[in-house]
Structure 1
Amino acid sequence: MARSEVRPTVEEVALAEEQIVAQSKRIDFFLTEYSVELLAQKVRDGEYVVPDYQREFTWDERRKSRFIESLIMGLPIPFIFFWEMPDGRLEIVDGSQRLRTIEEFVYGGLQLGELDPLTHLSGFRFDDLPESRQRKIKNRSVRGIVLNEHADEAARFDMFERINTSSMIANNAEIRRGALKGPFLDVVTELANSPLLAQLAPLPAKTRRERGYEELVTRLFAYGDGLAEYRDRPADFLFAYSKRMNSAFAADPTLADSYRQRFNAVLNFVSQNFPFGFRKAEKSTTTPRTRFESIAIGVDRALAEQPELADRSADGINVASWISLPEFQEITSADGANAIKRLRGRIDYVKNKLVGHGDD
């Protein structure tokens, strides 16, 4: 993609600097070092807290063996990230697999697989090593970064996400699901399994496995309820929204049915009026997120403003008059997709077309 020749304005530079300062204040930390022996003991004794979203993602035997081989060889081990909880315990922000592998090797009888270059250690357990080597391994230190108790949940999961950008780890929807269990996310999971949603918004198998439909449903509700707190960071916004809505659903159980009705109203309207659902074409096997957002949330807001739209005929709504226009294709492109201006623009475009029944 070619870089724009337009330089940022003074106001845009100021906003960028304000955002940097605000985000930097969320992270306060200190450095520390722990011996392998101490880390193994603390994991064994349950002194570290492992968030739910990290428990489901475990290394295979080959990766465990390779990690222990690196440890024995004295190769640098990446930082372990902790959060110091208000009660003084440490929650593992990143590094639970390394810590659990260390504990399993020192205390759990982990047998090493095929190694290279330490081929003669293949098949060894910790107890098979001479005491001198055991002591040397236990004495090795692993560096840690401890976030203080003021780092909020969103900051911690954001750090986990960034550290693991290139790894096979939980995505945003999976992390929210693990970190923020509650009645709102239960409803999101329920609606994400809607057959009509799958029909209108097909997703690749990999995206489905990674809770892609839960991400779409969450965005429908979060963006549909308002963007006043949105700061061009979808992950932070959706995390804070889900946490808040869990509390709201717990306080008022009737909200669950109202959100189900709202979701079904959007899907039924799209089914009746949009020739390809949320897809670009009839035979499309995937649904661009920006296109889903523009249509789903635009419909949601249009129905809130004019409920009688649900009773109009498809000819009266006349989606075909604008859905294929270059203008709509442009506003649903991925370029700058998460910027608030682009997000509002694509949502308002669909809402205004529906409220005006396709007329400018």
Structure 2
Amino acid sequence: MSLIAAVEKERHHVVVDSYTPTWNELIAQYKAGDVQVDPAYQRGFRWDYEQQTTYIESLLLNIPTPPIFLAEKANGAFEVIDGLQRFSSILKFFSSEIFPEENAVESNKSKHQNDIRVPTILSEAPIIKGLLGVSRETMPDTLVRTLRYSRVQIILLKKESSGVARYNVFTRLNRAGTALSNQEIRNCSARLFDSEFADSLNEMATDDAIQEALGLSTKEKTSMGTQECILRLIAFGNFTPTTKSIEDFLDSVMYLASNGEFDFSESHKKKIISTFELLAEAYPNGESFKFYRNEKFSGQFSSNLFDIVASGVLKNIAKCKRQGVDALRDRIMAMHNESEVADLTGAGSNTRAKMMGRVAFGKRWFAGI
């Protein structure tokens, strides 16, 4: 197939439309449930009051702003896939109209700055003087109307687009701004398939044994680090990477599981949970994935060690269970004396060969428990 033919073939997978509604129209659609900001996306609203104020100021001054990307769902509703910060800023500013039943108290405290049900109180703006302390209720009606009838370009990814096209559009749009972590992007992308796989990851991430075994920081857990570790174990437990990029590898596995090409069955789930339960019993504070130096485990969580230990135990789960927790604990500690471990986790460890090497070593090492 020629390059031109290849381009034309892929272009047919992406079906888009564009239009320029007012924010008033979009707010009405949101209130009617026709434009959705899915709960999985809500946690990604991270703009502080200064950023929200700057966007409001841009609309007041008619300064051009980037488009909002929506995806059309099978039921005809639309879902925000890029532009979450801007869309949420408008919802928050007009929240007293959108969520009147909440009776939310206006507050400028940082704990409320990303709660769209709490009305915005603007901060200092870069250009317009006098916006500090202004809310929807105190802003002059003329300016409120300016905001309400400001137009925004919408680029709509039609439901006729193929699943892989929708997935790729979402991941590329959101990685461009890095507003979400890679795993947050994957979980949100899975929503485009009306898939339960992302929900399964979220549910498993609340498991006490999994959290104890990983020992992740609050920041890592907040950005879906737990879900990413679970996905990583699923990936290395069932697939072979075809690229040196771990992100591309995890993206592909998330895609396969979300669109039904990989069946994440109950038996798969039980093996994953059993692996973490055994590791949590052996080391309940994440020591399994930290380096053992000077007769103690120290440092941060190592994804390279995770590849070795978690996948190794998963692939030998029955034997590890038979031998018991003490044997597993000793085997993990002894592993750090192996020169191959240093080679597989040191400089240049992100190559495809070393990714595969870590999984292969883990399988061999824990087979000898």
TM-score, normalised relative to structure 2: 0.69
**Rounded Cα–Cα distance in structure 2 between residues aligned with 1:204 and 1:128:** 41
Conserved? CA contact 1:222–1:241, under 8 Å:
no
Q: Deviations over 1:73-125 (max 9, x none)?
A: 22221221111223332211022342243345467465642333212344253
Residue in 1 that maps onto 2:111: none
**Rounded Cα–Cα distance in structure 1 between residues aligned with 2:306 and 2:58:** 45
Seen in structure 2, the aligned counterparts of structure 1 residues 82 and 212 have a Cα distance that, compared at 3 Å, is same
**Rounded Cα–Cα distance in structure 2 between residues aligned with 1:239 and 1:33:** 33
1:207 counterpart = 2:220: yes
Worse overlay, 137-146 or 176-185: 176-185
Shift of 1:40: 3.1
**Rounded Cα–Cα distance in structure 2 between residues aligned with 1:99 and 1:347:** 42
Q: Secondary structure at the match of 1:91?
A: strand
Conserved? CA contact 2:213–2:277, under 8 Å:
no
**Rounded Cα–Cα distance in structure 1 between residues aligned with 2:275 and 2:261:** 17
Q: Deviations over 1:10-57 (max 9, x none)?
A: xxxxxxxxx999987765434432233323332333320222211234
Residue in 1 that maps onto 2:157: 147
Residue in 2 that maps onto 1:119: 129
1:54 counterpart = 2:68: no
Q: Deviations over 1:288-312 (max 9, x none)?
A: 11221122112322456xx379439
Shift of 1:216: 1.6
> Identity over the aligned pairs, expressed in percent?
18
1:41 counterpart = 2:28: yes
1:176 counterpart = 2:163: no
Shift of 1:160: 5.1
1:99-248 aligned at under 5 Å gives the runs 99-105=87-93, 108=96, 110=119, 112-116=121-125, 117-122=127-132, 123=134, 125=136, 128-129=139-140, 131=142, 133=143, 136-149=146-159, 150-152=161-163, 154-155=167-168, 157-159=170-172, 161-165=174-178, 167=179, 169=180, 171-172=182-183, 176=187, 179=191, 181=196, 184-185=200-201, 188-191=204-207, 193-194=209-210, 196-198=212-214, 202-227=215-240, 232=245, 233-240=248-255, 242-243=257-258, 248=263
Seen in structure 2, the aligned counterparts of structure 1 residues 334 and 220 have a Cα distance that, compared at 3 Å, is farther
Q: Which amino acid aligns with 2:359?
A: I
Conserved? CA contact 2:211–2:226, under 8 Å:
no
RMSD over equivalenced CA pairs, Å: 4.4
**Rounded Cα–Cα distance in structure 2 between residues aligned with 1:164 and 1:299:** 37
**Rounded Cα–Cα distance in structure 1 between residues aligned with 2:320 and 2:302:** 29
Q: Of 274, 277, 280, which residue of structure 1 is paired with 2:288? A: 277
Q: Which amino acid aligns with 1:197?
A: A
1:69-88 aligned at under 5 Å gives the runs 69-88=57-76
Q: Secondary structure at the match of 2:298?
A: coil
Residue in 2 that maps onto 1:347: 359
Conserved? CA contact 1:299–1:350, under 8 Å:
yes
Please list every run of 5 or more consecutive structure 2 residues that lacks an aligned counterpart in the other structure: 1-5, 98-118
Shift of 1:279: 1.4
**Rounded Cα–Cα distance in structure 1 between residues aligned with 2:31 and 2:9:** 38
Q: Secondary structure at the match of 2:152?
A: strand
Conserved? CA contact 1:192–1:214, under 8 Å:
no
Q: Deviations over 1:271-302 (max 9, x none)?
A: 5xxxx632112241312112211221123224
Q: Secondary structure at the match of 1:120?
A: coil
Conserved? CA contact 1:189–1:214, under 8 Å:
yes
Number of residue equivalences: 327
Seen in structure 2, the aligned counterparts of structure 1 residues 46 and 195 have a Cα distance that, compared at 3 Å, is closer
Residue in 2 that maps onto 1:68: 56
TM-score, normalised relative to structure 1: 0.70
